[in-house]
Amino acid sequence: MTSARKMGLAVAQMGPVNSTDSRAGTLKRLLDMLREAKGRGAELAVFPELAFTTFFPRYWMDQSEAVARYFEAAMPNPDVQPLFDEARKLGIGFHIGYAEATPDGHFFNTAILVDKHAHIVGKYRKVHLPGHADHRPSYPFQHLEKKYFEVGDLGFKTWDFLNTRVGMCICNDRRWPETYRVMGLQGAELVMLGYNTPSRNNSYHEAPHLPDFHHLLSIQAGAYQNAMWVAAAGKVGYEDGIHMIGGSAIVAPDGEIVAKAAGDTDDEVIFFNVDFARCDGPREYMFNFAKHRRTEHYGLIVEQTGMAERIA
Amino acid sequence: MTSARKMGLAVAQMGPVNSTDSRAGTLKRLLDMLREAKGRGAELAVFPELAFTTFFPRYWMDQSEAVARYFEAAMPNPDVQPLFDEARKLGIGFHIGYAEATPDGHFFNTAILVDKHAHIVGKYRKVHLPGHADHRPSYPFQHLEKKYFEVGDLGFKTWDFLNTRVGMCICNDRRWPETYRVMGLQGAELVMLGYNTPSRNNSYHEAPHLPDFHHLLSIQAGAYQNAMWVAAAGKVGYEDGIHMIGGSAIVAPDGEIVAKAAGDTDDEVIFFNVDFARCDGPREYMFNFAKHRRTEHYGLIVEQTGMAERIA
């Protein structure tokens, strides 16, 4: 399967993880998908954001309650150790998202990259936290990432992994082109991302087909504009009664979707035999950054955070 | 048609402008489309890049010959004055691209914004010049923008125009997310762009459907990720025997194509009654830049031009 420029890549879309589901039951589902990924030739399996639990930022609670129920104080820990053990046994790497509580009292929406020896070789903490920090009882559900998490303090790093360079981002990060660009500039040829995206916006009306469209538009544009592969793993179906878009996908450096989950309910593994040589042509010509980018005209991107006010 | 937050917007896709076509003949086509745009309720008509001539960067020649044949030493000038006169008579603004030779000997791929009084109120000079500066006789055609033009020195400015804020970019600029972001940060609610895009890449193989897909992917992502309208006007059909993609389109702030040219040969005007209020929801929530952007993690975008080398 593997050559110097290829990678067997699996994306594991998860059905709902309900509040009433047991940790052990969820872990068994992850193990089953890890085995399926390995069986199909994968060297790396990409799991969703906050994969061990329900998407708890939809609930208003005290931070202490959230930490007790949903955060991981260490990684690995006894609850999740079997996933690491199975990865080492199978000889497969994985990427997974979880809520991280640090020893010194910080809280992040985090993803890790784990190699086939079950060593954590990379960590990412979500930078673009969506939603709000205040309780909004009039909303059909909350989106409290700005309450439970701090903005990631690690930036968009990249790592040498399986003969390529890879990076990570999480959910809302994928809508911001800066995310891919910062990793693309580092030479990343693969970006992994996990997500939990409700099918319905909680704050204003938009047409029901748009959340799926926006997800795919964002990852396809990010892949194309940086000539990189993108592997996106989400949850799908009614989680605690709130429907999540699926659309987990592998996107090629030309922006085309080459594998996409079909289901709307169950756990599902998709696979593609990724060839990093497909990054080369566009990186030499259309997206030869050194030849074409003009940083002297990009200053506002870092000098100004918010948008100028609309004129009256 | 007009309210404080609406604009009648036309995009004029052009059939080929061949090397053998007369300037007067091409100008007549532009006048016809300007009248059609006005007749359909447009307050602004968007024309393509290098609209007065063939896409001459496909030919190798001396700069002096290119200047004599294809560049405008003043704008307006007697050759194009009828377009300005007609705009004033009709009371319609327009955007158009041309090759600009400055009095002090500089050369740019330029676009202007002209108001309904035929005053030039904005100018943009192309920043992302694609192609090459050297003669490549083995290629099926040349792409010599880096030979004939200098990199634009005006950046991505925006202007108050018809009760909104607008910006401009040209062709290859649309593939670079920095383009839209710099204008979005200034509050632009409409970006106009002209283009000439061959259906076939001149330097390496890619599938025939990809140029059209990449064009639409780029303008849709730019619109969505900045909650802005995008109006894209190109040429279509066999110009001097080289086929150009059409796909001229108006894209809404949710990334959806709301009007798109259908033809593959002839001049064609498309129209949409643009409502800038559609920018408001996403700018308050999903793309509330002030709340969500994290400039401290974007530094590489301006600090580094080229991509890091791929690891061995």
Give B88-105 pLDDT, tens digit per residue. Answer: 999 999 999 999 999 999
DSSP state of B150: P
For the residues of B204-245, what is the DSSP string, one character each? S---TTHHHHHHHHHHHHHHHHHT-EEEEEEB-EEETTEEE-
CA B114-B117-B119 angle, 5° bins: 45
Are B236 and B270 contacting, i.e. CB atoms less than 8 angstroms apart?
A: no
Are B231 and B193 contacting, i.e. CB atoms less than 8 angstroms apart?
A: yes
Are B202 and B143 contacting, i.e. CB atoms less than 8 angstroms apart?
A: yes
Are B297 and A176 contacting, i.e. CB atoms less than 8 angstroms apart?
A: no
d(CA A202, CA A196): 13
3-state DSSP of A121-160:
EEEEECCCCCCCCCCCCCCCCCCCHHHHCCCCCCCCCEEE
Chain B residues touching residue A224 (CB < 8 angstroms): 175, 214, 217-218
Considering only CB atoms, A298 lies closest to which of B172, B182, B225, namely B182
Chain B CA closest to residue A279: B310
Burial class (CB in 10 A: 0-12, 13-18, 19+), A308: middle
Q: What is the mean pLDDT of residues A175-181?
A: 98
Chain B residues touching residue A156 (CB < 8 angstroms): 297
d(CA B98, CA B108): 9
Active site residue A126: yes
User: In Å, how far is B144's CA from the nearest CA of chain A?
Assistant: 13
Active site residue B169: no
Nearest alpha-carbon partner for B224 in B202, B191, B200? B191
For the residues of A213-224, what is the DSSP string, one character each? HHHHHHHHHHHH
Active site residue B171: yes
Predicted confidence (pLDDT) at residue A179 exceeds the cutoff of 80: yes
From its phi and psi, is residue B278 left (phi > 0), alpha (psi between -120 and 50) or beta?
alpha
DSSP state of A270: E
Six token digits for residue B280: 């408001």
Q: What is the pLDDT of residue A3?
A: 58
Chain A residues touching residue B172 (CB < 8 angstroms): 292
The fraction of chain B above a pLDDT of 70, given in percent, is 98
Q: What is the mean pLDDT of residues A149-172?
A: 97
Predicted confidence (pLDDT) at residue B3 exceeds the cutoff of 70: no
User: Do A311 and B187 make contact, defined as CB atoms within 8 angstroms?
Assistant: yes
A312 pLDDT tier (thresholds 50, 70, 90): very low
Substitution target in A132, A218, A302, A309 with the highest count of B β-carbons within 10 Å is A302
Please give the interface size between A and B, counted as residue pairs whose CB atoms are below 8 Å apart: 215
User: Do A218 and B225 make contact, defined as CB atoms within 8 angstroms?
Assistant: yes
User: Do A308 and B185 make contact, defined as CB atoms within 8 angstroms?
Assistant: yes
Are B78 and B45 contacting, i.e. CB atoms less than 8 angstroms apart?
A: no
d(CA B36, CA A67): 63
B311 pLDDT tier (thresholds 50, 70, 90): low
User: In Å, how far is B90's CA from the nearest CA of chain A?
Assistant: 26
Of B38, B86, B126, B169, which is the active-site residue? Answer: B126
Six token digits for residue A113: 């990259």
For all residues of chain B together, what is the average pLDDT?
A: 96
Give A69-119 pLDDT, tens digit per residue. Answer: 999 999 999 999 999 999 999 999 999 999 999 999 999 999 999 999 999
Give A108-121 pLDDT, tens digit per residue. Answer: 999 999 999 999 99
Pick the CATH number of B6-303 from 3.40.50.300, 3.40.50.970, 3.40.50.360, 3.60.110.10: 3.60.110.10
A286 pLDDT tier (thresholds 50, 70, 90): very high
Six token digits for residue A80: 């999740």
Q: What is the pLDDT of residue A310?
A: 60
Q: Which residues of B181-206 are buried (b: 16+ CB within 10 A; e: fewer)?
A: bbbbbbbbbbbbbbbbbbbebbbeeb
Predicted confidence (pLDDT) at residue B203 exceeds the cutoff of 90: no
Q: Which residues of B230-267 are buried (b: 16+ CB within 10 A; e: fewer)?
A: bbbbbbbbebbebbbbbbbbbbbbbbbbbbbbeeeeeb
User: Do B297 and A178 make contact, defined as CB atoms within 8 angstroms?
Assistant: yes
Are A252 and A278 contacting, i.e. CB atoms less than 8 angstroms apart?
A: yes
Q: What is the mean pLDDT of residues B265-293?
A: 96
Are B122 and B138 contacting, i.e. CB atoms less than 8 angstroms apart?
A: no
Of B4 and A244, the one with more pLDDT: A244
User: Do B201 and A285 make contact, defined as CB atoms within 8 angstroms?
Assistant: yes
Tell whether the torsion through CA atoms of B138, B141, B147 and B152 is positive or negative.
Answer: negative
What residues does A274 pair with on adjacent strands? A7
Question: Please, what is the end-to-end C-alpha distance for chain A in angstroms?
Answer: 60
Are A44 and A8 contacting, i.e. CB atoms less than 8 angstroms apart?
A: yes
Chain A CA closest to residue B293: A305
Q: What is the mean pLDDT of residues B161-170?
A: 96
Contacts of B81 (CB under 8 A, 6+ apart): none
Considering only CB atoms, B290 lies closest to which of A295, A301, A307, namely A307
Of B38, B43, B49, B169, which is the active-site residue? Answer: B49
User: Do B127 and A255 make contact, defined as CB atoms within 8 angstroms?
Assistant: no
Six token digits for residue A173: 């990060």
Six token digits for residue B225: 């990720």
Taking CA atoms, A270 is separated from A37, A242, A248, B103, B272, in Å, by 8, 24, 8, 60, 40
Question: Please, what is the end-to-end C-alpha distance for chain B in angstroms?
Answer: 60
User: In Å, how far is B68's CA from the nearest CA of chain A?
Assistant: 27
Nearest alpha-carbon partner for B46 in B217, B152, B161, B218? B161
DSSP state of B111: E
- Give the largest CA-CA distance in chain B: 63
For all residues of chain A together, what is the average pLDDT?
A: 96
Q: What is the pLDDT of residue A311?
A: 53
Give B30-86 pLDDT, tens digit per residue. Answer: 999 999 999 999 999 999 999 999 999 999 999 999 999 999 999 999 999 999 999
A1 pLDDT tier (thresholds 50, 70, 90): very low
User: Do B178 and A301 make contact, defined as CB atoms within 8 angstroms?
Assistant: yes
User: What phi and psi, each to the nearest 5 degrees, are found at residue A167?
Assistant: -140, 175
User: Do A182 and B301 make contact, defined as CB atoms within 8 angstroms?
Assistant: yes
Give A205-230 pLDDT, tens digit per residue. Answer: 889 999 999 999 999 999 999 999 99
User: What phi and psi, each to the nearest 5 degrees, are found at residue B296?
Assistant: -65, -15
Q: What is the pLDDT of residue A304?
A: 97
What residues does B71 pair with on adjacent strands? B99
- Which H/E stretch holds residue A281? helix A280-284
Chain A residues touching residue B224 (CB < 8 angstroms): 175, 214, 217-218
User: Do A129 and B292 make contact, defined as CB atoms within 8 angstroms?
Assistant: yes
Asked if the peptide bond before residue B76 counts as cis, ω within 30 degrees of 0, the response is yes
Q: What is the mean pLDDT of residues B294-306?
A: 98
Chain B CA closest to residue A255: B214
Q: What is the pLDDT of residue A201?
A: 84
User: Do B305 and A286 make contact, defined as CB atoms within 8 angstroms?
Assistant: no
Considering only CB atoms, B182 lies closest to which of A181, A206, A297, namely A297
User: Do A184 and B307 make contact, defined as CB atoms within 8 angstroms?
Assistant: yes
Considering only CB atoms, A165 lies closest to which of B254, B292, B311, namely B311
Q: What is the pLDDT of residue B1?
A: 44
Give A120-133 pLDDT, tens digit per residue. Answer: 999 999 999 999 99
Chain A residues touching residue B295 (CB < 8 angstroms): 301-305
- Which H/E stretch holds residue A63? helix A63-70
Taking CA atoms, A265 is separated from A17, A261, B1, B17, in Å, by 11, 11, 46, 53
User: In Å, how far is B253's CA from the nearest CA of chain A?
Assistant: 11
